[in-house]
Structures are given as C-alpha cells and as structure tokens.
Amino acid sequence: MCGIVGYIGKRNTQNVLIEGLKKLEYRGYDSAGIAVFTDKGLEIAKAKGRLANLETKLENAPLIGSVGIGHTRWATHGKPSDVNSHPHTDDSHKFSVVHNGIIENYLELKEELIAEGHTFVSETDTEVISHLIAREYEGDIVKAVQKAISHMRGAYALGVLTEYEPNKLVAVRQASPLIIGIGEGENFIGSDIPAILEYTRNVYILNDGEMAVLTQDAVELMTIEGNFISREMIRVDWDATTAEKGGFEHFMLKEIHEQPKAYRDTMRGRIDVSGKHVVLPELKLTPEQIKNIRNVQIVACGTAYHAGLVGRSVIEQLVKIPVETDVASEYRYRSPIVTPETLVIVVSQSGETADTLAALREAQSHGAHVLAITNVVGSSIARDADDVITTLAGPEIAVASTKAYTSQLIAFYLLGLYLAEVRGTQTPEQIAHIIAAMQALPEQVEKMLSQADAIKDFAEQISKHEDLFFIGRGLDYAVAQEGSLKLKEISYIHSEAYAAGELKHGTLALIEDGIPVIALATQESVLEKTVSNIKEVKARGAEVMAITFEEHVAGLLKSVDQAFAIPKTLPILTPALAVVPLQLLSYYASLARGNDVDKPRNLAKSVTVE
Ligand code: F6R
C-alpha cells in the first residue's frame, strides 16, 4: 500500500499533489514526496514522516510547475527515510517514478543494472524502475515504460515523468489500483478517487495490464503492449469522506474486504514458481540455526496474541517442536526459560507495542534469536528484532484489527512450512498440498464476503444481548478467542471464549434461556466432541449458531439454531477462513448498537504504554 497522485494542467501543481496526498494518507504515511517539472527541470522534494514534514520543506522551497507526481509511502523495501521516499530517479535525474506495489524480481534487476554501471542510492524496489526506464529510453517515454515493465514481475501502479517530454505523464496499472481523472485542460492520476475528487468527478478506472498517457488536453488509454483501448468514463457521485473509505461505511468493513488482497500480498514472492516451496529470502536465520532450534516461544498482545495461538498449532503440527504462546505483559515478568536455542517470535501489527517490545528485549538478553512478524517496516520492533517477516496487509486504520490478524496467520503458515522443509518434518508432497490450499484462501474469503448478509441478521439478534459465549476445540478455540475479543471491543457486549470441553467445569452455570452461543465446528477430528458440547448448552436453553463446513451444515442443524458455512480447506488453514464471519458479526453487532465502529471507546490503535 502506498498512495500515488499525478497532475498535468494549469493549476499550482504542488498544491494539487499535496491535497491529493492528504486524501491518500490512509494508504501509508511514513514518508512522502513530489516531483514537479519546474523551469529548472525535474525537481524532487521528499521527507520522512507525515505529510506535514514535506509541506514544511516546500514552504521554504516551493516547486512551481504544471506537471508533477506525488507519493505517500507505506514502506515495504527499506525503512522509512528521506532517501527511500518516492519519487525515485535514475543516474541522469531526467526520469522520475512513483510506485505502489512490489517488484518481486527487483534484486535480480538491480544486480543487472549495477553490472551495467547504474548507481543506486536507496534500498527500494522502486528505484530499479526509474533506472530501467532510463536504460530503455530512445526518445519515446511510452515505449521506454513498456520495455521497462516487460522486465518486471510483481504488482505495480506507476506514475512516470521525464524531463525529455515535459508535457506527458505516463501511468501504468498492474495488480495495484490506479484511476485517471479527466478535467478541462487538466488531467489527473490517483491511487484512489478521493485524491482527485476536489477537481473532477469524471474518471476512468484502469484495469490490470493497462496504461494511460496524459497531456493537458487528452488522455490516451492503451494496453501495456501498446494497443489503444476505449473505456467508458465513470461519473463519481460519492462524497469525499465515503470515497476515502472506498465506498464502505467504515474502515473496519473496508479492511475486512481487503483481506483477500492482504493474503495475496503477504504470500506474493514467498512461494516459488513451482508452488512447491516457501521462500523467505528476508530471513537471516540459517538452516544450521533452524536445525538447532529446541523450542519456540510466541509473544504478543491482544489480537496478535490470538494469531500466536494459531501459530503455536501451526508450528507444532508442521515442525514438531514444542511451542508456547504468551501475552507479552506476562512473559517478561515470569522469568521465561529462554536459551540461545529458543526461537522467540514476537507478533505485532504496529511494531510499536510497548509490552511486546519489552518482551523482545527480554528474550534477546537471554541470547535468543528473535523473529518479528509485523505490518510496519521500520517500526521499533522491526528494527530491534534479529529477523522480520513483514505482513503486507497495508495500513490498518480501524482500531479493531482484522486484515492484520489474518495476514499474521498467513505469515505463520509460510514460516511453519519453511521451517518444516528445512528440518524435513513434512514430505515435499505434504508441503505442496498445503501451499496449494493456501493459494485458494483469497478466493474463498471473497466467496464468504459475498454472503455477509447472512451474518448481518444474526448480528442484529445478538446486539440485543449483554452476554454471549464462543466455544470451540483446538484451532477453533483459538479462533473463538479472537472472535470474542473482536465482539467485546467494538460492540461492548460481554463475551467469553471457552474451550468447548471446559464449559462443564464451571462456566456452564451461566448458560440460561436465550443466551447466544457461537460454536466453531470446523475441526473434523473433534467434531463429534464439539457437537456433544453444543448439545450441553442447547439443553440449557442457549441459542446456538455454528460456523462449519458446508458438508456438516445439515447434520449440525439438528443440534443448532443457525449455521454459517465456510468454504472447505485443510484443518490447519481453517482459522484464516473461520474468523471472517466472526469479524463481520462484530462489525454488524456494533453497527446495530450505534457504536463508533472504527474508534471504540477506551482503546487506541497503537499501545505504546506498558
Ligand atoms: C484488537 C487489537 C489489539 C492489538 C494489540 C496489539 O483488535 O487490535 O488487541 O492486537 O493491541 O497490537 P500490535 O499488534 O500493534 O502489537
């Protein structure tokens, strides 16, 4: 995730770019920059941190011109810094590029370009693009861009300028969003409609594999192979605030719907082309160290802790090593037994959670290798950890974590499979089988999201209650805990997650007529046992909704009141699907209660106090 904006016309370009970037800050905000064609040539200004820092820089040295591109960054390759900020340029400083996405083969391309004499200044994948375009330029920027992208693999939306053709702005879309805004004597590009909505409501939406060439008075659309295309212009009738949320009523709902993309992005480049191996080139952990791991400790807070509970089962099942999962605020004070052969995994969306950071330091002080799973490159946890697996969920704005949690699950699957291959604890066939099932997850989530209305009705019913229970066994219990936390934090309904077999040891006393119970029943090895536990609560008057696979719905409906079917996957992968209806349930229950869904009371997105 990053935000791109571009302008060609008679207005003050700098202002158009800055105002556009303000609307895109939700896509990333660790640094920003603009390039404007001024009377001195192509000039670039960039600044680490919030957009305000760039604005301050520009107050002293404004860039005056009539064509420009801008970018707000959410770091993926290289920490947030002035030099890693976009726009990027080449050795001649004649070309300038803004990019949203990931170039998977950037390291190979970079080596090739270095061998040809190009000099790189940043750690980004994007800088490769500006050098490639410069290399391919023979007097036609459109052809140069087409040739450059023919060498690139991955996802990208691009805005490109060259000093040689100052009256042109070139835009490309390949698996990252990009729209073109059409004005009178002016045209725009943007990652999202809000960036340009102040100036025009007429837009073209580019499809993957398409590009646009903008001048002040015209826009040409073509495929990246150069075949011209015509497209119907869309008239936008949303207001700006709705548009920022991509048409969704809340960021949380938008983020729930972004999960298929977050799964794909987190897997992208980490499964080799054969589909048989996980590759984690970012890991410093050597095969030797991996073989010497004696135990794993996973440490995190809140939702990230719940991802760690799934991570425990994943690593134990795939790698056959003992794993404990602990909440960070407890771990650091319980004198954990950590040795240099312990792999400690800290999980944190923000990478700034004080307790998790302290746990990381505690583990390092005992000589453990600490691997962080985090969503924010350059965060304190990412910087201090010995190894990092970045989840590519994009910025999460809603306080209730959804896409960050599920991306953490994907990271655990990738890590588990990688460790299993190195330690030889799964056969190549077993690994390939799990990878294939993982690759189907994004589409399966899309299918469930299209059935969200079924959850809405149940959510409205439960919104009238003050107490509720989630039950499940094994991985279902781990998901139940996340479902319960989600519901509490945004609907303010009291709920508890129980290991289904544990209820009868006390908590069953709380089950009375009409109390809602959500039963997760996906783990087939314990399905009959879970059904027995469902019968225990039904016998005491509970209203039970089950989450299960399609094939078990008919059978379960003999014991429960309602059932929501999730697509079939392997037992180990089920959490990545089963949690989605629970996220929707919390969202709609909160909505029905009239709560502020995105900003629940008493909570904050990043918890930097202990
Ligand atoms: C709940 C939620 C929190 C966070 C927790 C840890 O929806 O978001 O429970 O998971 O505060 O935050 P990070 O992952 O940033 O360390």
Nearest CA, atom 5, ligand 1: 302
Q: Is residue 602 included in any domain, yes or no?
A: no
Biggest CA–CA distance in the chain, Å, is 80
Q: Is residue 398 part of a domain?
A: yes
In 3D space, the residue among 500, 497, 473 whose CA is nearest the CA of residue 486 turns out to be 497
Number of domains comprising the chain: 3
350 lines ligand 1 (CB under 6 A): yes
Domain match, 135 and 24 both: yes
Looking at the predicted structure, is the pLDDT value of residue 604 above 80? no
Closest ligand 1 atom to residue 374 Cα is 14
**Same domain, residue pair 464 and 534:** yes
pLDDT band for position 2 (cuts 50, 70, 90): confident
Residue 404 is assigned to a structural domain of this protein? yes
pLDDT tens for residues 499-549? 999 999 999 999 999 999 999 999 999 999 999 999 999 999 999 999 999
Q: Give the model's pLDDT for residue 94.
A: 97
21: domain CATH number is 3.60.20.10
Bridge partners, 271 (sequence order):
278
Q: Active site residue: 2, 22, 254, 488, which one?
A: 2
Band of residue 246 on the pLDDT scale cut at 50, 70, 90: confident
**Is residue 296 located within the same domain as residue 361?**
yes
Residue pair 544/537 in contact (Cβ under 8 Å)? The answer is yes
Give yes or no for residue 376 having a pLDDT over 90: no
Question: How do residues 557-566 score in pLDDT, each as one tens digit?
Answer: 999 999 999 9
Boundary of a domain, candidates 193, 222, 244: 244
Q: Whose CA is nearest to atom 10 of ligand 1?
A: 303
CA distances from 173 to 4, 221, 225, 283, 603 (A): 11, 11, 13, 30, 37
Q: Do 228 and 95 share a structural domain? A: yes
**Is residue 557 in some structural domain?**
yes
User: Tokens 């805004």, residue?
Assistant: 181
The answer to whether residue 160 scores a pLDDT higher than 90 is yes
Are residues 267 and 317 both part of a single domain?
yes
CATH number, position 421: 3.40.50.10490
How many angstroms separate the CA atoms of 233 and 203, rounded? 6
Residue where a domain stops, chosen among 185, 216, 244:
244
Q: Give the pLDDT score at 194.
A: 83
Mean pLDDT of 214-227: 97
What's the pLDDT at 610? 62
Q: What was the pLDDT predicted at 608? A: 60
Query: Does residue 86 surpass a pLDDT of 90?
Result: yes
Catalytic residue among 276, 504, 538, 605: 605
Distance of CA 402 from the midpoint of ligand 1 (Å): 10
Beta bridge partners of 547: 520, 564
Q: What digits encode the pLDDT tens for the residues 442-484?
A: 999 999 999 999 899 999 999 999 999 999 999 999 999 999 9
For 338-483, strand residue ranges (E) read: 342-348, 369-374, 387-390, 467-472
With the C-alpha atoms ordered 378, 382, 388, 392, is the resulting torsion angle positive or negative?
A: negative
Residue 241 has pLDDT above 80, yes or no: no
pLDDT score, position 336? 93
- Lookup: tokens for 5: 């904006």
Confidence of residue 235 (pLDDT cuts 50, 70, 90): confident
Cβ of 142 closer than 6 Å to ligand 1, yes or no, is no
Query: Is 456 an annotated catalytic residue?
Result: no
Please work out whether the CB of residue 327 comes within 6 Å of at least one atom of ligand 1: no
Residue 145 sits in the same domain as residue 236: yes
In the chain, the amino acid numbered 262 is A
In a domain, 608, yes or no: no
Best substitution site from 360, 606, 607 to test ligand 1's pocket, by max atoms within 8 Å of Cβ? 607
Band of pLDDT at residue 238, cut at 50, 70 and 90: low
* Distances, alpha carbon 517 to alpha carbons 124, 463, 565, in Å: 49, 13, 16
Q: Same structural domain for residues 357 and 225?
A: no
Same domain, 504 and 404: no
Domain match, 433 and 460 both: no
Mind listing the pLDDT tens digit for each residue in 304-316? 999 999 999 999 9
Rounded-to-integer distance, Cα 18 and Cα 39, Å:
20
Task: State the pLDDT at residue 230.
Answer: 93
pLDDT tens-place string over residues 42-80: 999 999 998 999 999 999 999 999 999 999 998 888 888
Q: Is residue 609 part of a domain?
A: no
Q: Do 285 and 147 fall within a single domain?
A: no
Instruction: Report the mean per-residue pLDDT for the chain.
Output: 94
Dist. CA 444–CA 297, nearest whole Å:
31
Domain limits at 320?
A: 253-439
Is the confidence at residue 609, as pLDDT, over 80?
Answer: no
Active site residue 301: no
Asked whether residue 141 is domain-assigned, the answer is yes
Q: Tell me: do 298 and 235 sit in the same domain.
A: no
Residue 603 lies in a domain: no
What are the pLDDT digits (tens) for 393-434? 988 889 999 999 999 999 999 999 999 999 999 999 999 999
Q: In the numeric block, which tokens belong to residue 138? A: 């023979």
- Considering the domain architecture, whether residues 463 and 551 belong to the same structural domain is answered as yes
Residue after which a domain boundary falls, among 439, 456, 482: 439
**pTM of the entire structure?**
0.80
Determine if ligand 1 sits within 6 Å of the CB of residue 586. Answer: no
